[in-house]
């Protein structure tokens, strides 16, 4: 029984039809949570004594950073499933996930940098987290570039999956190395990257925003995957029917 | 847990003790990024349907099928 | 593996090693390119940044490591390409021996003709960049081990891009993030040695990374080559 379900999951058409109905609801919930969390954080969250109101950036910086990392694993695992089980749909998910992750990483970098200006006086500081995030951004760009470079879709899928897997194995090592490198320059002082223990009234909106970002990510990923399905299956009759219906 | 609006008026909400441009700048950029992610599939779909319809008109006999 | 199989694997590896060395030394000019690049960019440093000895001494460890890394990158594009073009790569992929082992001969030779010469040249260039005396031994040790990792990682990139005509720049983009840990610990070891700290930990990490890549790279390279050849 489970095998049957797994096989069906590999069918793009089945996936497309099954996600049709509840996808808009997922999007709605995500958007609601995003708006609520943002307003909560912007207007009602505490302004930290040390950092002042710029701490409100945390409600978008942290979720973006978390999702950019998680998104890489989603992408890599989708690639692995595609390679191991020859599941075309999995490759489509991977292809859809790459740009989303890149954009989220960019947002994390942007908000992190802008947050740095009022806090530490500089637009850019090479601290451990930002440096690691730049490398993650480059990892994403590598995947996207590799996908674009290959004309043959099948080859592009498989080659970028191999790269994504190598990346997945290496991300902990890269992060640890950058962390070690950074602590070389900051010997004893617990630096500004050290998060003070979170005030509960800050934790709630933050958790809501993290959840919101997760749901938003899932929603966008599914929509992009569906679009990829349409593109790849455009010669089939069910897609042509869909097109005819507008 | 008490929810207290942290600012006295709209002006201070926007200005945030000098941190306003940074905070609002970040939220604006994030909004743009997320909006792009949210809207792009819809645009792609419309373009796709338009393309497919144009193709179908040009060569109706070439429609493949499963 | 049966005795017969292990015998034929050994023969295949030795034959591959001999072949790669012969090919590498056929174009001796190509061997010099990474070294000339190394020298050229070292000249750029005082020209572009500052010739002041104190400044050079501070940046020498990192600069030497970065340029060695870049020189390695440049030499990687051709690793599989000529074999891909004339069909011998396909033969390699189809041979009965495990592809992972076979490609390691290519990587080994690449390291021997690129990484090792760069390592040997580095102290000379270190003098030109006012590298403090305490740094030389660790420079050589860290580069010797580190360039091994660089060759392995780079070969993965070469395998991923061999099917592309203009794969060169994309190769660099794709693997540079993986060079980051090697660079950090390599240059970090040299910097620590100069400041008088112990460097055992950094060198140990470099060795660990080399071993890690020795285990992972064959799978990635073989996988990528199989995909590219069937394309």
Whole-number pLDDT of residue A190: 43
Whole-number pLDDT of residue A191: 44
The domain segmentation of chain A, as residue ranges, is: 22-46+56-188+201-245
Whole-number pLDDT of residue A2: 65
Whole-number pLDDT of residue A48: 65
Report the residue from A142, A154, A177 with minimal CB separation from C181.
A177
Number of domains in chain C: 1
Q: Mind listing the pLDDT tens digit for each residue in C158-209?
A: 999 998 988 888 999 999 999 999 999 999 999 999 999 999 999 999 999 9
Structure tokens at C211: 């071993």
Q: Mind listing the pLDDT tens digit for each residue in B24-49?
A: 999 999 999 999 999 999 999 999 99
Instruction: Label residue A244 by pLDDT band (50, 70, 90).
Output: confident
pLDDT of residue C148 exceeding 80: yes
Shortest CA gap A28–chain B (Å): 11
DSSP string, A28-73: HHHHHHHHHHHHIIIIISPPBTTTBGGGGGHHHHHHHHHHHHHHHH
- Per mean pLDDT, which range of B15-19, C81-85, C216-220 is the poorest? B15-19
Whole-number pLDDT of residue A189: 42
**Contact list, C224 vs chain A (CB under 8 Å):** 159, 162
Whole-number pLDDT of residue A188: 44
Q: Mind listing the pLDDT tens digit for each residue in A17-59?
A: 999 999 999 999 999 999 999 998 888 877 766 667 778 899 9
Cα C217 from Cα C154, distance rounded (Å)? 9
Report the residue from B6, B22, B63 with minimal CB separation from A43.
B6
> Is residue B6 situated within a structural domain?
no
Whole-number pLDDT of residue B62: 55
Q: What integer is the mean pLDDT of C75-87? A: 90
pTM (two decimals): 0.91
Whole-number pLDDT of residue B10: 83
Q: What integer is the mean pLDDT of A129-137? A: 94
Report the residue from A158, A170, A180 with minimal CB separation from C227.
A158
Give the dihedral of Cα atoms A189, A190, A191, A197; nearest 10 deg.
Answer: -160
Report the residue from C156, C180, C231 with minimal CB separation from A174.
C180
Q: Mind listing the pLDDT tens digit for each residue in B44-55?
A: 999 999 999 888
Whole-number pLDDT of residue C231: 67
User: Is C173 in contact with A167 (Cβ distance < 8 A)?
Assistant: no
Residue range(s) defining the domain that contains residue B38: 13-58
Instruction: Label residue B63 by pLDDT band (50, 70, 90).
Output: low
What are the φ and ψ backbone dihedral angles of A48, each rounded to 5 degrees? -60, 140
Q: Mind listing the pLDDT tens digit for each residue in C5-28?
A: 777 888 889 998 999 999 889 888
- Per mean pLDDT, which range of A46-60, A99-113, A212-226 is the poorest? A46-60
Number of domains in chain B: 1
**Is-contact A98 A140, C-beta < 8 A?**
yes
Whole-number pLDDT of residue A225: 97
Q: Is B5 left (phi over 0), alpha (psi -120 to 50) or beta?
A: beta
Q: Mind listing the pLDDT tens digit for each residue in C96-144?
A: 888 999 999 999 999 999 999 999 999 999 999 999 999 999 999 999 9
Instruction: Label residue B9 by pLDDT band (50, 70, 90).
Output: confident
Cα C170 from Cα C160, distance rounded (Å)? 10
Say what the ipTM of the complex is: 0.91
Residue range(s) defining the domain that contains residue C122: 3-230
> Is residue B5 situated within a structural domain?
no
Q: Mind listing the pLDDT tens digit for each residue in A146-160?
A: 999 999 999 999 999
Whole-number pLDDT of residue C6: 79
Chains C and B: 3 or more CB pairs within 8 Å of each other? no
Q: For residue C158, count other CB atoms closer than 10 A to its CB.
A: 30
Shortest CA gap C182–chain A (Å): 9
Residues 119-178 of C with CB under 8 A from A: 156, 160-161, 163-164, 167, 170, 173-178
* Most confidently modeled range among A120-134, A175-189, C114-128: C114-128
Q: Identify which has the larger pLDDT, C157 or A42.
A: C157
- Residue in chain B closest to A204 (alpha carbons) equals B1
Whole-number pLDDT of residue A195: 53
> Is residue B8 situated within a structural domain?
no
């Amino acid at each position: 029984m489970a095998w049957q379900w797994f096989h069906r999951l590999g069918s793009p058409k089945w996936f497309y039809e099954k996600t049709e109905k509840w996808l808009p609801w997922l999007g709605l919930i995500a958007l609601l949570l995003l708006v609520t969390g943002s307003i909560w954080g912007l207007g009602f969250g505490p302004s930290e004594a040390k950092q002042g109101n710029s701490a409100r950036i945390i409600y978008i910086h942290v979720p973006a950073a978390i999702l950019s990392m998680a998104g890489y694993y989603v992408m890599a695992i989708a690639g692995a499933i595609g390679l191991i089980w020859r599941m075309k749909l999995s490759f489509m998910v991977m292809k859809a996930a790459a740009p989303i992750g890149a954009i989220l990483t960019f947002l994390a970098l942007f908000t992190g940098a802008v947050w740095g200006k009022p806090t530490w006086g500089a637009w850019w500081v090479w601290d451990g987290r930002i440096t690691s995030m730049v490398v993650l951004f480059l990892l994403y760009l590598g995947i996207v570039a590799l996908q674009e470079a290959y004309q043959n879709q099948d080859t592009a899928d498989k080659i970028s999956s191999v790269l994504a897997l190598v990346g997945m194995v290496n991300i902990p090592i890269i992060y640890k190395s950058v962390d070690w490198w950074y602590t070389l320059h900051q010997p004893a002082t617990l630096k500004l990257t050290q998060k003070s223990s979170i005030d509960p009234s800050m934790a709630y909106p933050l958790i809501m925003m993290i959840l919101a970002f997760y749901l938003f990510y899932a929603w966008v990923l599914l929509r992009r995957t569906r679009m990829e399905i349409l593109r790849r299956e455009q010669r089939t009759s069910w897609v042509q029917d869909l097109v005819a219906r507008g | 847990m008490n929810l207290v609006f942290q600012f006295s008026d709209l002006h201070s909400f926007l200005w945030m003790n000098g941190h306003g441009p940074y905070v609002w700048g970040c939220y604006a950029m994030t909004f743009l990024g997320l909006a792009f992610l949210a809207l792009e599939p819809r645009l792609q779909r419309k373009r796709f349907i338009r393309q497919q319809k144009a193709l179908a008109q040009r060569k109706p006999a070439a429609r493949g099928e499963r | 593996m049966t005795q017969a199989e292990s015998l034929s694997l050994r023969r295949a590896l030795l034959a591959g090693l001999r072949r790669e060395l012969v090919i590498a030394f056929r174009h001796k000019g190509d061997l010099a390119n990474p070294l000339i690049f190394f020298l050229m960019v070292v000249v750029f440093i005082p020209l572009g940044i500052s010739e002041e000895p104190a400044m050079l001494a501070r940046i020498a460890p990192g600069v030497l490591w970065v340029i060695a890394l870049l020189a390695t990158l440049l030499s990687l594009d051709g690793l599989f390409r000529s074999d891909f073009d004339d069909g011998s790569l396909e033969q390699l992929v189809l041979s009965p021996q495990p592809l992972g082992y076979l490609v390691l001969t290519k990587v080994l030779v690449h390291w021997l003709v690129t990484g090792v010469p760069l390592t040997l040249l580095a102290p000379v260039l270190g003098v030109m960049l006012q590298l403090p005396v305490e740094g030389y031994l660790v420079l050589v040790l860290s580069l010797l081990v580190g360039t091994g990792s660089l060759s392995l990682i780079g070969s993965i990139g070469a395998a991923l891009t061999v099917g592309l005509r203009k794969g060169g720049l994309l190769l660099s983009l794709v693997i540079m993030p993986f060079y980051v840990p090697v660079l950090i610990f390599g240059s970090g070891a040299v910097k620590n040695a100069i400041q008088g700290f112990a460097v055992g930990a950094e060198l140990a990490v470099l060795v660990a990374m080399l071993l890690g890549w020795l285990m992972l790279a064959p799978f990635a390279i073989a996988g990528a080559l199989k995909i590219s050849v069937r394309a």
